[in-house]
């Protein structure tokens, strides 16, 4: 089988409402959807969703990187995942969203060729994964109301954004805990908002309301600060922006700078690199979470959920991006139903059909 062409189309889907984090506001899911075509008639679909607030990439750059990759990939067998990985590695130093789009599409083709859903190819530990659901930054009353509504809808883990100030954050978590009761897990995500010393003080206050873990309390490059917080916090500490690839994961694992690591396909360049990250963490005794960008559609979420369900060391998921979309631009895969249990398609590949 040989790649004969790669088509790319941009999609822009409004969110049901703006999503606020400490780094900024997101209003649309914006991504580059690719179709990898082959000489056997099989095609695979993938997505690069550049979250500029996290990865620094934009849509125009992602599209251009995909077009650049096409020239290097023509004539390559897309089921040779290892070969594809190293061709992409040589073609561009970074560009993780563009690489992710190609990677997902190639795994889609591999599943179709093998006649198996991708979650089985990746390990087959389960065909389902449970996700939390995220509450963006807002007033305490509004956040508490949203969290309570999610619990009524069956969710037992709430992830909430914080990072605008101690007084405001304490009020938010207090209100959420009172609204959801004692049995619901609360995860908080600061998106790099604090210094290490601030983080410990704020986490201690927030833990008065029983929080499960804190995601990315300090700046992405502050590995020393992250290590300091982890070693002095009673609450589990998880990295996000501090880990883009397997090299970052190895640095964090060597320092014991985290308790949990959040893998996102759009940060690391796709499933192949994500498997490396998880293997490093599993060897070091560090559990992983599978996360997503708010800009992703059901293509990226289906791919991420397939990986998260497939391997045992990924014990948590934050794969709620499709719940916020006003509509789906793509048929197949995981839909918009707002439910904590994501069920993987049993069709070969990811179960993708095509753009609507």
Residues assigned a catalytic role? 161, 189, 215, 240, 264
184 alpha-carbon distance from chain centroid: 22
The strand pairing partners of 21, in sequence order, are 24
DSSP 257: -
Contact 278, 246 (CB under 8 A): no
Q: At what angle do helices 59-73 and 81-91 cross, to 10 degrees?
A: 120
Query: Element (H or E) spanning 332, and its range?
Result: strand 330-332
Residue 195 CB: number of other CB atoms within 10 A? 15
For residue 234, CA distances in Å to 15, 194, 255, 316 come to 36, 17, 18, 19
Residues with Cβ within 8 Å of 57's Cβ and at least 6 positions away in sequence, in order, are 50, 51, 95, 96, 97
Contact 105, 99 (CB under 8 A): no
The C-alpha atoms of residue 107 and residue 275 are separated, in whole angstroms, by 13
The C-alpha atoms of residue 60 and residue 39 are separated, in whole angstroms, by 28
For residue 19, CA distances in Å to 23, 38, 270 come to 11, 38, 25
For residues 92-108, b (16+ Cβ closer than 10 Å) or e, as one string? eeebbbbbbbbbbbbbb
């Amino acid at each position: 089988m040989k790649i004969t062409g790669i088509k790319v189309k941009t999609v822009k889907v409004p969110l049901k409402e703006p999503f606020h984090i400490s780094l900024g506001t997101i209003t649309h899911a914006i991504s580059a959807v690719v179709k990898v075509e082959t000489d056997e008639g099989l095609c695979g679909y993938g997505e690069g969703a550049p979250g500029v607030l996290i990865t620094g990439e934009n849509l125009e750059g992602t599209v251009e990187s995909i077009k650049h990759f096409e020239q290097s990939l023509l004539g390559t067998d897309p089921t040779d995942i290892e070969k594809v990985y190293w061709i992409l590695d040589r073609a561009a130093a970074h560009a993780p969203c563009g690489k992710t789009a190609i990677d997902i599409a190639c795994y889609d083709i591999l599943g179709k060729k093998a006649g198996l859903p991708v979650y089985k190819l990746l390990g087959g530990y389960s065909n389902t994964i449970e996700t939390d659901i995220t509450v963006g930054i807002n007033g305490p009353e509004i956040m508490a109301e949203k969290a309570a509504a999610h619990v009524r809808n069956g969710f037992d883990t709430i992830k909430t954004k914080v990072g605008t100030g101690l007084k405001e954050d304490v009020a938010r978590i207090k209100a959420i805990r009172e609204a959801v009761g004692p049995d619901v897990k609360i995860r908080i995500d600061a998106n790099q908002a604090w210094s290490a010393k601030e983080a410990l003080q704020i986490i201690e206050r927030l833990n008065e309301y029983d929080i499960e873990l804190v995601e990315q309390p300090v700046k992405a490059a502050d590995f020393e600060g992250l290590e300091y917080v982890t070693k002095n916090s009673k609450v589990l500490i998880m990295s996000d922006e501090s880990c883009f690839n397997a090299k970052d994961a190895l640095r964090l694992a060597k320092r014991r700078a985290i308790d949990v690591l959040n893998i996102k396909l759009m940060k690391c360049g796709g499933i192949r690199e994500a498997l490396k990250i998880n293997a490093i963490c599993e060897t070091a005794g560090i559990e992983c979470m599978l996360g997503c960008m708010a800009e992703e559609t059901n293509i990226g979420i289906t791919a991420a959920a397939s990986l998260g369900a497939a391997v045992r060391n990924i014990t948590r998921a934050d794969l709620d991006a499709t719940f916020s979309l006003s509509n789906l631009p793509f048929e197949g895969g995981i839909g918009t139903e707002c439910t904590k249990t994501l069920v993987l398609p049993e069709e070969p590949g990811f179960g993708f059909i095509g753009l609507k």
